[in-house]
Structure 1
Amino acid sequence: MSAGETDGGHAGREPGGHAGQESGGRLPVGVRFREYQARRGRGDGPPADEPGREFRSYYGRPILKAPVWKRDIPAYFFTGGLAAGSSMLAAGADLTGRPAMRRATRLASLAAMGASTYFLIHDLGRPNRFHHMLRIAKPTSPMSMGTWILALFGPASGIAAVAEVAPALPRRGVLGLARRALPVAGTTAGYLAAAVAPAVATYTAVLIADTAVPSWHEAYPQLPFVFAGSALASASGVALLAAPLAETGPASRLAVAGAAMELVASHRVENAMGIVSEPYRQGRAGRLLRAARGLTVAGAAGAVLGRRSRLVSALSGAALVAAAALTRFGVFEGGVASAKDPKYTVVPQRQRVEESTGAR
């Protein structure tokens, strides 16, 4: 079963108990909730087992099947965002005459895209599964659209990166023709990759928000901004690491903008969604996201204060790249944790039922 499928377990009958009673003498959540509604209607007040205190599914099993994805997927999220942000920054560097930063970000985009392709295919198990997804185009499917977006972005970013080796080619013969043609092709491909890059950076957020996993699904308005800000900040980090100080002014400003976008959206994900925000503040997800927040703030501060120091600039760049990776892994872990605990499925459903019955 895929991420977010419901459990098919059935309630049993305890000796001398209620039909459908759980082990331990407790009624299934559906029966208890109906009794709660009936008692509310009579004005007897809420029972001791009031919604919001404790919730258990049949036999204590999760209601949803947790995502079966391994760590290849959050790594794929991170490298795809880095590739997208680097392509956008490379296009800006080309427009403003910053060849060293353009070269560094184009090569970073190609390397990140190669890593992203590896992680995706490794998770799929067989390379031909990616090819098979190209047989259809379904606008309502984030996976289908993401496949086509990657199929367009990958070759464009590759051509743009290969164009950076043109000056090293011989001046005569076939390679001489390539030396003259590659810069033009690289510029065109670089702008095409930059145009597609926002979709590459954010489609994975749409993909996981389209599942039934509670902490991903409820975060659908904010996750694209988390991923987009993270992509911009990590790409700026690459520029701060690899480009000379004379060319990194725009990267420093973009690092601050990307960090601000990520921090604001992440704060809402961690605090503004009610009970389904809890998994992002607890356990492994909480530790990862707190570390990411600290590195993001440090990296943005270093980008501003380190414009005259190569060492500070490089350290801030490394912090931003590491923060982006931790953010993607933290979001992934938070969603998995929410799928494993039935509370995060039951409580929001009960709240929606209460709101709908109260509005009548």
Structure 2
Amino acid sequence: MSPTSSGVPTPDERSSDQRSSDRGASGSGASGSRASGSASSDSGASGSGSLDGGSLGVRSRGGRSSGGRSSGERSGGRRGGRRGRGGDRSMVPEADFQSYYGRPIVRPPVWTHDIAIYLFTGGLAAGSAMVAAGGQATNDPVLRVAGRATAMGALGASAFFLIKDLGRPDRFHHMLRVAKPTSPMSMGTWLLSFFGGAAGVAAAAEVAPFLPDRGVLGLARKVLPPVGAAAGYGAALLAPGLATYTAVLFSDTAVPSWNAAYPDLPFMFAGSALASGAGVGLVAAPGRSMRRMAVAGAAVELAAGHRVEHGHGLLSEPYRKGRPGKLLRAARLLTAVGAVGAVVGHRSRVVSALAGASLLAGSALTRFGVFEGGVESAKDPRYTVIPQREGLNKAGGVKVSGGAAAPPSVPGGPASA
């Protein structure tokens, strides 16, 4: 305001003073906004640090949490966690392998114990067919008849339990519509069918002496013995495939412990079938050949079984624990006792028969133990997760399926930017 004025500001003076006041007010507001923004940023950073520290439980070397938790929360965290280096406790909990909604990662087999019985009876049929062929080759009629009768009976039981598990008999018939060499189920169905035909003809030949001499039945009396002999040898040739195809079928599934034991399960099942066939021979007509067969079958079964139970790391664990472990330990004991009894009891018919029964019981428990061990491995997610991680680590960062894993991000590189 000019000193010569009368005390009333002119319009120019009023506009100049108003502009100065507006500039001061705007400057104050900007400063306040910047201060407020800074405070908000600080509080936001503090809140973020508290969230990270509280949720992840990251602790510094001095024992403090990186977040803004209270001393009571920090002391509670120390009491609840595991002790780490330097006297601190880690807030990272133990790994708990749980899948979504508590469901297994791999769906357990829907098969019932009918399949376990099917495994045993199929192996028994195969072993008995080999016993019958041995009796036929050595002109031992008792051994031949016992082997053929047992093979036919066990095969009938095996087919019954298989069809029962399938639900409808026509499903077995439908599997014969195609022959797929890459499918263990398809090949097993054809093996079972051919073996059944050969074993049936061989068993029918045993009734030839009871047929009349004349007419059509008289012709059958003359034809059946040589045809039955050829069929008996044919069944013996198919017996190894029948005894082991179920092991290949198990190994071809996604069940962890079955899939991991694929190199050993066929030998285990073959030895079990051989031991069960020898058990039939020891009960019916004990002799040197049956004792040798019993020892050979037991040795193969025990050696392969040891590999199954101990040779596949974590995936062998289900065969040693719980009910499967008890079954397989009992099977191992019965098989060993049967083999020893077959050797030391060569002068006693009773001891030989008991040894044969022990081998048969051991073979049955072996099939049940392997069956239940696989089912248990499918129920626990860690038998699926841990081996996959180990396989990925051994592959050097390359996925087991063949695809390359994503490379780690390099500080300062595109990934970190």
TM-score, structure 1 normalization: 0.84
| Counterpart AA for 1:55 | F
Q: 1:293 to 1:49 in 2, by over 3 A?
A: farther
Q: CA deviation at 1:49?
A: 6.1
Against the structure 1 CA distance between its residues 259 and 178, is the aligned structure 2 distance closer, same or farther, given a 3 Å change threshold? same
Aligned-pair Cα RMSD in Å: 1.8
Counterpart check, 1:160 vs 2:202: yes
Letter in 2 for 1:213: V
Q: Tell me, yes or no, if structure 1 residue 278 matches structure 2 residue 278.
A: no
- Tell me how far apart the structure 1 counterparts of residues 112 and 175 of structure 2 sit (CA, whole Å): 20
- The answer for the alignment partner of 1:76 in structure 2 is 118
Q: 1:50 to 1:88 in 2, by over 3 A?
A: farther
Structural mapping, 1:1-360, within 5 Å: 54-243=96-285, 245=286, 248-357=287-396
Amino acid at match of 2:250: I
How far has the Cα of 1:55 moved from its partner? 2.2
Query: Structure 2: how far apart are the matches of 1:143 and 1:50?
Result: 44
CA distance in 1, matches of 2:104, 2:159: 32
Letter in 2 for 1:269: V
| Matches of 1:270 and 1:261, distance apart in 2 | 14
Q: Counterparts of 1:250 and 1:100 in 2: how far apart (Å)?
A: 14
- What is the distance in 2 between the residues matched to 1:50 and 1:201? 47
CA deviation vs aligned residue, 1:24-46 (integer Å, no higher than 9, x gap): x99xxxxxxxxxxxxxxxxxxxx
Secondary structure in structure 2 of the residue aligned to 1:119: helix
Task: Give the letter for the 1:186 counterpart.
Answer: G
Change (3 A) 1:178 1:273: same
After superposition, give the CA deviation of every residue in 1:302-333 in whole Å (9 maximum; x if it has no partner).
11111111100100000101111100000000
Measured against aligned partners, the alpha-carbon deviations of 1:159-211 in whole angstroms (never above 9, x if no partner) come to 10111111122223322221111111110100111111110000000001000
Deviations 1:234-257 (A, max 9, x none): 0010111112x4xx2211100100
Post-superposition Cα deviations, 1:4-56, rounded to whole Å, max 9, x if no partner, equal xxxxxxxxxxxxxxxxxxxxx99xxxxxxxxxxxxxxxxxxxx98699x5422
Residue-by-residue CA offset, 1:88-122 (whole Å, 9 max, x unaligned)? 12112111111110110010000000000000000
Q: In structure 2, the residue corresponding to 1:215 is in which secondary structure? A: helix
Q: Partner letter of residue 234 of structure 1?
A: S
Distance change >3 Å, CA 149–CA 49, structure 1 → 2 = farther
Match of 1:134, SS state, is helix
Q: Are the structure 2 counterparts of residues 272 and 49 from structure 1 closer, same or farther at C-alpha, using a change threshold of 3 Å? A: farther
Whole-Å separation in 2 of the counterparts to 1:110 and 1:74? 19
Q: Distance in 2 between matches of 1:108 and 1:307?
A: 22
Q: 1:348 to 1:186 in 2, by over 3 A?
A: same
Which 4+ residue blocks in structure 1 deviate beyond 4 angstroms? 47-51
DSSP-derived class of the 1:357 partner: coil
Judged with a 3 Å threshold, the aligned counterparts in structure 2 of structure 1 residues 208 and 97 are, in CA distance, closer, same or farther, namely: same
Deviations 1:262-320 (Å, cap 9, x if unpaired)?
A: 00000010011000101000111011101100100010011111111110010000010
Sort the Cα spacing of 1:202 and 1:174 in 2 relative to 1 into closer, same or farther, 3 A. same
Per-residue CA distance 1:335-358 (angstroms, 9 max, x = gap): 000000001000000001111126
Q: Which has the higher contact order (CA 8 A, sep 6+)?
A: 1
Q: What are the ranges of 5 or more consecutive residues in structure 1 without an aligned counterpart? A: 1-24, 27-46
Deviation at 1:138, TM superposition (A): 0.7
Q: Name the structure 1 match of 2:8.
A: none
* Percent of pairs with identical residues: 64
| CA distance, structure 2, for counterparts of residue 223 and residue 234 of structure 1 | 16
Distance 1:49 1:252, change over 3 A: farther
> Based on CA coordinates, which of the two structures has the bigger radius of gyration?
2
Partner amino acid, structure 1, of 2:341:
G
Q: Aligned partners of 1:334, 1:324: CA distance in 2, in Å? A: 15
Query: Match of 1:221, SS?
Result: coil
